[in-house]
């Protein structure tokens, strides 16, 4: 049985996995989406172990290494690395809880993922994207406010879709975001985004308000869809892609690209790395440092173009 077929027919999870997932919710405050992702990764692992007549309590380092090698044949390095991270965390939990004396993942090599440098939009392209929203109807006002706010705050799409009206303080230019693990942070909002959001709330949102709210919490949502429900991540993603195509922007465009663009442009204009880290809600500054590579590449490119001796090749 292949790894993929095993993961498609998940069996009941071992009790250690259920305990670990419950711990993630109760002790670490992980979101339902995060826990669901861990469950999928660990289900594939446990199903593979079941075929080998093994379990997380009895598996050896050699067998985990064999699992990793089998996954390498079927999945991208990033997917294997993510699944391996879930497996390592499970076994560390088991050791900490006395469910196993040793950690079999300690001697298993990590999965190398090729470093991907974010490809941000240029500042001009961000302007083109926002200008591609045509009209003054409710949906146009919503889409313009959504794009402006994504770029202004560098927020994740889930954070923007989860916004409630009480999270906005447009007078002082601040927004409260709830990131991974429900961690709260305050992020400034620039004048362009403030104007766009204010216009949406004042002149557009009421047109999408339904006669009766279908779900609790929708009445407080900042962004609504055509049916008067809280805008979903998939629908917000489609807004970005649709207007990107209209603006003639080539390549892969997503809400995350706007997050990349916000961080890169701030660093280009002299923002402190720690400030950008706090604004984006990164737990580690090493995550934020990837954006400095983008800025350095731009610096080197401009240096080569502008410095009179950067491209000269002369003999001594």
How confident is the model at residue 217, as a pLDDT?
A: 85
> CA separation (Å) from 36 to 21, 33, 40, 64?
9, 5, 6, 22
φ, ψ of residue 97 to 5 degrees: the values are: -90, 5
Cβ count within 10 A of residue 238: 11
The residues annotated as belonging to the active site are 156, 180, 256, 259, 282, 291
Query: Angle CA(44)–CA(49)–CA(52) in degrees, nearest 5?
Result: 135
Residues 118, 291: Cα–Cα separation, whole Å: 7
From first to last of its 316 residues, what are the pLDDT tens digits of the chain?
334 433 334 456 789 999 999 998 888 888 888 888 899 999 999 999 999 999 999 999 999 999 999 998 888 887 888 899 899 999 999 999 999 999 999 888 877 766 555 578 889 999 999 999 999 999 999 999 999 999 999 999 999 999 999 999 999 899 999 887 778 899 999 999 999 999 999 999 999 999 999 888 899 999 999 999 999 999 999 999 999 999 998 777 889 899 989 988 988 888 888 888 888 888 777 777 777 765 666 556 666 676 666 655 444 4
β-bridge pairing 168-169 and 174-178: antiparallel
How confident is the model at residue 1, as a pLDDT?
A: 37
How confident is the model at residue 6, as a pLDDT?
A: 39
Give SS3 for 259.
helix
Q: What is the 3-state secondary structure (H, E, C) of 5-20?
A: HHHHCCCCCCHHHHHH
- Identify the structural domains of the chain with CATH numbers, from first to last: 3-96 (1.10.150.130), 123-254 (1.10.443.10)
Cβ burial, residue 150 (10 Å; 0-12/13-18/19+): buried
How confident is the model at residue 222, as a pLDDT?
A: 97
């Amino acid at each position: 049985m292949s790894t993929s077929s095993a993961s498609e027919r998940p069996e009941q999870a071992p009790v250690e996995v259920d305990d670990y997932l419950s711990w993630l919710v109760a002790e670490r405050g992980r979101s339902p989406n995060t826990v669901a992702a861990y469950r999928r990764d660990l289900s594939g692992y446990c199903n593979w172990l079941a075929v080998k007549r093994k379990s997380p309590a009895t598996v050896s380092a050699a067998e985990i290494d064999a699992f990793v090698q089998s996954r390498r044949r079927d999945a991208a390095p990033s997917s294997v690395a993510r699944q391996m991270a879930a497996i390592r965390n499970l076994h560390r939990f088991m050791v900490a809880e006395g469910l196993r004396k040793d950690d079999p993942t300690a001697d298993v090599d990590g999965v190398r993922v090729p470093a991907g440098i974010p490809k941000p939009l240029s500042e001009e392209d961000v302007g083109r994207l926002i200008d591609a929203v045509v009209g003054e109807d409710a949906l146009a006002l919503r889409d313009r406010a959504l794009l402006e706010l994504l770029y202004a705050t560098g927020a994740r799409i889930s954070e923007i879709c989860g916004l409630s009206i009480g999270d906005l303080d447009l007078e002082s230019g601040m927004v409260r975001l709830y990131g991974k693990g429900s961690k709260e942070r305050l992020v400034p909002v620039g004048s362009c985004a403030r104007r766009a959001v204010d216009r949406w709330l004042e002149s557009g949102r009421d047109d999408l308000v339904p006669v009766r709210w279908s779900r609790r919490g929708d009445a407080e949502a900042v962004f609504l869809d055509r049916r008067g429900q809280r805008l979903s991540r998939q629908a917000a993603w489609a807004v970005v892609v649709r207007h990107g195509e209209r603006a003639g922007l080539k390549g892969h465009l997503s809400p995350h690209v706007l997050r990349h663009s916000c961080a890169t442009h701030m660093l280009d204009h002299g923002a402190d790395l720690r400030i950008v880290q706090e604004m984006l809600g990164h737990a580690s500054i090493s995550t934020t440092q990837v954006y400095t590579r983008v800025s350095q590449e731009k610096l080197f490119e401009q240096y080569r173009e502008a410095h009179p001796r950067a491209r000269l090749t002369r003999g001594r």
